[in-house]
């Protein structure tokens, strides 16, 4: 079972600044191709979608395919014009979602 996702968002930024966002989720990313110790296939279960929203508006998204490594890490940039909250969502094949949020103060 995945642990709590990790996010890094600057606490303060200037209006119009482009800020770095970093995320990581601990997840085994089972492809469905591996066999367990008893020889039976391990069911596929991987993170297949990531979405980042700022103040309710989607600012970044990514769909993951089978080639993504375990514990996927993402780094991207977002231009901020106002203070607010980032909402991060990861969705896995089994239908579970994992969310995390972080706020930023724009001066």
For 5-29, the pLDDT digits (tens) are: 999 999 999 999 999 999 999 988 8
Q: Compare 95 and 6 and report the one with higher pLDDT.
A: 6
Taking the domains of the chain in order of start, what are their residue ranges? 6-106
Residue 28's region, left for phi above 0, alpha for psi from -120 to 50, else beta, is: alpha
**CATH number 3.40.50.2000 given to 6-106:** no
> What is the pTM assigned to this prediction?
0.89
Q: What does the DSSP 8-state code read for residue 42?
A: P
Contacts of residue 106, defined as CB under 8 A and 6 or more positions apart, other chains included, come to: 12, 13, 14, 15, 17, 80, 81, 82, 83, 84
**Per residue in 45-86, pLDDT tens?**
889 999 999 999 999 999 988 778 889 999 999 999 999 999
pLDDT at 40 over 60: yes
């Amino acid at each position: 079972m995945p642990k709590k996702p990790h996010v890094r968002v600057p606490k303060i930024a200037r209006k119009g600044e482009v800020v770095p966002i970093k995320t990581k989720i601990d997840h085994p990313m089972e492809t469905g191709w591996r066999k367990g110790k008893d020889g039976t296939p391990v069911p596929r279960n991987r993170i297949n979608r990531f979405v980042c929203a700022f103040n309710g508006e989607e600012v970044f998204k990514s769909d993951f395919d089978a080639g993504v490594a375990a514990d996927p890490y993402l780094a991207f940039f977002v231009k901020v014009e106002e203070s607010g909250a980032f909402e991060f969502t990861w969705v896995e094949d089994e239908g579970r979602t994992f969310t995390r949020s972080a706020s930023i103060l724009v001066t």
